[in-house]
Amino acid sequence: MKSYVDEALQAAVKLWDDAIEAKFVERKGKGPDIQISFSTFYHGDEFPFDGMGNEIAHAGPNGRNLKWVLAHEIGHSLGLPHTLEQSIMMPYYGGYEAAEPHLSAYDIDVIQKLYGKLHLLVTGCFGQEV
């Protein structure tokens, strides 16, 4: 199970990492900027979570695609709100998606406004920029 979660987390982080100049680094122990945990606490509906005010997601008993959920929640941790646009940041996720999660043009535009665009230098076969 740990390898499944690690793989899903790496894939979700890579979506955002590929879109902005900021880089994510795994740091174990004290002081991470983003901490991920799996917890259950009562918060007033039939799907309890929270407790410390920092847990921001929950999934029902019918199953969810962990990569999609993690990509969405990482978006929140980076400062993105919910949107009604077709986006990884839509407020409702109806169930398991077989497709790999992806950032929409909207997601990329919003995250780059917050963190800057990723600038790549591409050179041709003769050393010329293209």
Q: Could you give the CA distance from residue 12 to residue 5 in angstroms, rounded to a whole number?
A: 10
* Residue 102 annotated as lining a ligand binding site: no
* Residue 58 annotated as lining a ligand binding site: yes
* Residue 89 annotated as lining a ligand binding site: yes
Q: Could you give the CA distance from residue 110 to residue 78 in angstroms, rounded to a whole number?
A: 11
Compute how many other C-beta atoms are within 10 angstroms of the C-beta atom of residue 32: 11
Q: Which helix (H) or strand (E) holds 105?
A: helix 105-115
* Residue 75 annotated as lining a ligand binding site: no
Q: Which of these is catalytic: 21, 73, 85, 100? A: 73
* Residue 52 annotated as lining a ligand binding site: no
Three state DSSP letters for 14-44: HHHHCCECCCCCCCCCCCCCCCCCCCCCCCC
Residue 73 falls in the annotated catalytic set: yes
* Residue 76 annotated as lining a ligand binding site: yes
* Residue 17 annotated as lining a ligand binding site: no
* Residue 119 annotated as lining a ligand binding site: no
* Helix, coil or strand: residue 119: coil
User: Which residues define the annotated binding site for Zn(2+)?
Assistant: 43, 45, 58, 72, 76, 82, 89
User: Which residues define the annotated binding site?
Assistant: 33, 43, 45, 50-51, 58, 72, 76, 82, 89
Annotated catalytic residues are 73
User: Which residues define the annotated binding site for Ca(2+)?
Assistant: 33, 50-51
